[in-house]
Amino acid sequence: MNHKHALFTACTTLTMISGTAIGAQVNTFPDAIASHTELDMQDIARSMINSLHPDQQLLIAAQGGIGSDALNLDTTLDTTRNFERTARTDIPAGMSAAEFLDLLLSDDVRSKLTDEHLFVLNNIAELIDQGTQVPYMCFAPGTSSEYAWAINEMLDYQYVAAKGEDSRYQQSNRWSRTAIDGSGLTQGDPTNITYSFAPDGSFIPNSGLGSGSSTLFAWLDAKYGDTATWQALFHSVFDRWEELTGVTYTWEPNDDGRNMSSSLGIVGVRGDVRIFAFNYPFDGNNGVLAYNFFPNDGDMAIDAFDNFYNNTGNNSIRLRNVVSHEHGHGLGMAHVCPATATKLMEPFVSTSYDGPQLDDILNGQRHYGDPLEPNDTIADATDLGTYADTGIVAVPEASIDDNNDMDFFKVTTTERAQILFVIAPNAGQYNQGPQTTSCNTGASTNYNAMHDLKVEMYAITDLFNPVAVADDNGAGTGETLTYEAENPGEYLIIISPVTSTNNIQRYQGTMLISALPPVACPADINGDGELNFFDVSDFLAAFSAQDSVADFNDDGQFNFFDVSAFLTAFGEGCP
């Protein structure tokens, strides 16, 4: 596709995805008769529509917009971690972003904002009214909570449906298409995401804080002395998200310098997530530290040369936590309150933690599964290893990410052994909720009691009848499964929810393999594991010598009853 063709396709797709440029309820082009241009538009539309908020998706689907055939309308609105919309004042239908901003800025709020704050807020309102998508932002410690709240309200405004329905989410859409995986990704699917560093000079359009050319390399090369040093900090951020979720990250060393948020990721060309930096023209030091778009975009723009980043202590925890927070938005996470410096996705960055915390882990695993994914089938079962009669293995980071998820594990024994498998909730109870003016409130949620989990064990030779089941306790407590595996071989362990709550239950597990007591075989006098003539011979010799081995009934005498007992045991054989 040449440049003019690509530009025409992208622009036309943006129009047609809204449903305004096509006839009634027609949202796909038949492959057999469609031109390459139409098929290109259809493919781009399917990728782009999943990056929109559910309210926008429903409006597009109602108009039959191209790409809406890729939506699952039954689950489009089922995107919050609590799966309930959070109460807020409805926005009157037809209210412009500028009018909504005036509604937000009460005299009390306005009195706590600077002229610079008001300029940025008005710029954001103007961009939204022009149809420009504005990304989510994080703020330096000490930034006015009213300013952070007002920006967040404006960013939420752009997702409000025409009917004025509530649109506040703590979790937005996840990635539905990446360069490696292609399209069709849904809730709970493990995902491959590529990332790249945009070269200096790449253009960053205005998203409320001004526009400019990226100076990422010039800024950080000067700060750290070379490129590899600061890029290693970014690699560590993505590595940590990978350790905690079902996302696998691949650094894409190529980046063709396209404008920010203008193109999908392509292997060998540019990443799904692209990192930019420039000195925000409309924001001084501190204030907004960086911003990021929601999937399927994920691009990030850091406020280059902001004094906040001058402190590089604790392995540049300031920069790393900002990048980690912004990428949280890029994974589909919104801000969460209260701001107690305990959650990465709080609006204000903190150095009280290092990277994603419990709430952020739950958020990420709900979207992308846990680090053991894929292990939802027998074929993909997590292999816990092969053991003789002793062994121990921990499963520290796992979760059931919805009411249909099942985790499969397998273990192989080569000797008779007891298998003990214990699981326990691995979350907690805490306050969390959407961003508010002061960001000091939230509802108490017990994430240890989302699901009642069950543990089942099957011999690989019979996948219909479990050899052991543990389902004795309710939600919020653990389960212990014990099985004496007399027959060495491969066993399957399945963790599944008994309850139907469409939410995530994080848990940890431990498996202990221990030896079973020796099998008693009293007639095996010589202890070679076989019953034959030699055992009879040894018994008779012991009987003649009145050796205690031949006192089979343990009465202290050697007579016919001992011979009878030996012959009975010999006839029964060894277990």
- Tens digits of residue pLDDT in 518-547: 878 888 888 787 888 888 899 889 888 999
- As assigned by CATH, the class of the 177-368 domain is alpha beta
Is the pLDDT reported for residue 163 higher than 50?
A: no
pLDDT digits (tens, 9 = 90+) for 39-55: 455 555 555 454 444 44
Which residues have CB under 8 Å from 258's CB, separation 6+? Answer: 202, 270
Which pLDDT value is given to residue 91?
A: 61
In terms of Cα–Cα distance, which of 472, 461, 175 is closest to 329? 175
Is the pLDDT reported for residue 30 higher than 70?
A: no
In terms of Cα–Cα distance, which of 44, 151, 42 is closest to 101? 151
CB 574 within 8 A of CB 531: yes
Which pLDDT value is given to residue 533?
A: 86
Which pLDDT value is given to residue 45?
A: 53
> Is the pLDDT higher at 289 or at 84?
289
Summarize the confidence of residues 110-122 as an average pLDDT: 87
| Poorest-pLDDT segment among 165-174, 192-201, 262-271, 316-325 | 165-174
Query: Which residue matches tokens 């000091």?
Result: 440
* Cα–Cα distance, 571 to 302 (Å, whole number): 82
Which pLDDT value is given to residue 63?
A: 56
Summarize the confidence of residues 94-119 as an average pLDDT: 84
Is the pLDDT reported for residue 383 higher than 90?
A: yes
Q: Which two tokens stand for residue 534?
A: 């030699």
Summarize the confidence of residues 433-444 as an average pLDDT: 84
> Is the pLDDT higher at 508 or at 100?
508
pLDDT confidence bin for 9, thresholds 50/70/90: very low
Task: Output the CA torsion sign for 241, 247, 251, 255.
Answer: negative
| Poorest-pLDDT segment among 51-65, 110-124, 252-266, 298-312 | 51-65
* Cα–Cα distance, 448 to 440 (Å, whole number): 23
Query: Which residue matches tokens 């309930």?
Result: 84
Query: Which residue matches tokens 């949620």?
Result: 445
Is the pLDDT reported for residue 221 higher than 90?
A: yes
In terms of Cα–Cα distance, which of 263, 316, 245, 258 is closest to 504? 245
Which residues have CB under 8 Å from 179's CB, separation 6+? Answer: 192, 194, 252, 264, 265, 266, 267, 271, 272
Mean pLDDT for the chain overall = 83
Q: Which two tokens stand for residue 502?
A: 């469409």
> Is the pLDDT higher at 554 or at 246?
246
What is the pTM (predicted TM-score) of this model? 0.75
**φ, ψ dihedrals at 116, nearest 5°:** -65, -45
Is the pLDDT reported for residue 509 higher than 60?
A: yes
CB 185 within 8 A of CB 272: no
pLDDT digits (tens, 9 = 90+) for 454-472: 999 999 999 999 999 999 9
For residue 300, how many C-alpha atoms fall within 13 Å in the half-sphere facing its CB? 26
Which pLDDT value is given to residue 33?
A: 39
The domain locations on the chain are 3-70, 97-157, 177-368, 382-515, 533-572
Summarize the confidence of residues 222-234 as an average pLDDT: 98
Q: What percent of the chain has pLDDT over 90?
A: 52
> Is the pLDDT higher at 134 or at 491?
491
The string over 227-261, giving b where at least 16 C-beta atoms fall within 10 Å of a residue's C-beta and e elsewhere, is: eeebbebbeebbebbeebbbbbbbebeebeeeebb
Provide the residue count of the chain.
575
Is the pLDDT reported for residue 282 higher than 90?
A: no
Summarize the confidence of residues 108-124 as an average pLDDT: 87
177-368 shares its CATH topology with 382-515: no
Which pLDDT value is given to residue 190?
A: 97
What is the SS3 assignment for 489? strand
pLDDT digits (tens, 9 = 90+) for 53-62: 444 455 555 5
CB 410 within 8 A of CB 491: yes
Query: 273 exposed, middle or buried (CB, 10 Å; 0-12, 13-18, 19+)?
Result: buried
Is the pLDDT reported for residue 568 higher than 50?
A: yes
In terms of Cα–Cα distance, which of 423, 387, 384 is closest to 513? 387
pLDDT digits (tens, 9 = 90+) for 540-552: 898 889 998 888 8
pLDDT confidence bin for 133, thresholds 50/70/90: confident
Which pLDDT value is given to residue 438?
A: 83
| Poorest-pLDDT segment among 157-161, 190-194, 299-303, 409-413 | 157-161
pLDDT confidence bin for 124, thresholds 50/70/90: confident
Which pLDDT value is given to residue 7?
A: 33
Is the pLDDT reported for residue 13 higher than 50?
A: no
Task: Output the CA torsion sign for 534, 539, 545, 550.
Answer: positive
* Cα–Cα distance, 432 to 336 (Å, whole number): 6
* Cα–Cα distance, 119 to 554 (Å, whole number): 98
Fold of 382-515: Jelly Rolls (2.60.120)
pLDDT digits (tens, 9 = 90+) for 292-350: 998 999 999 999 999 999 999 999 999 999 999 999 999 999 889 899 999 999 999 99
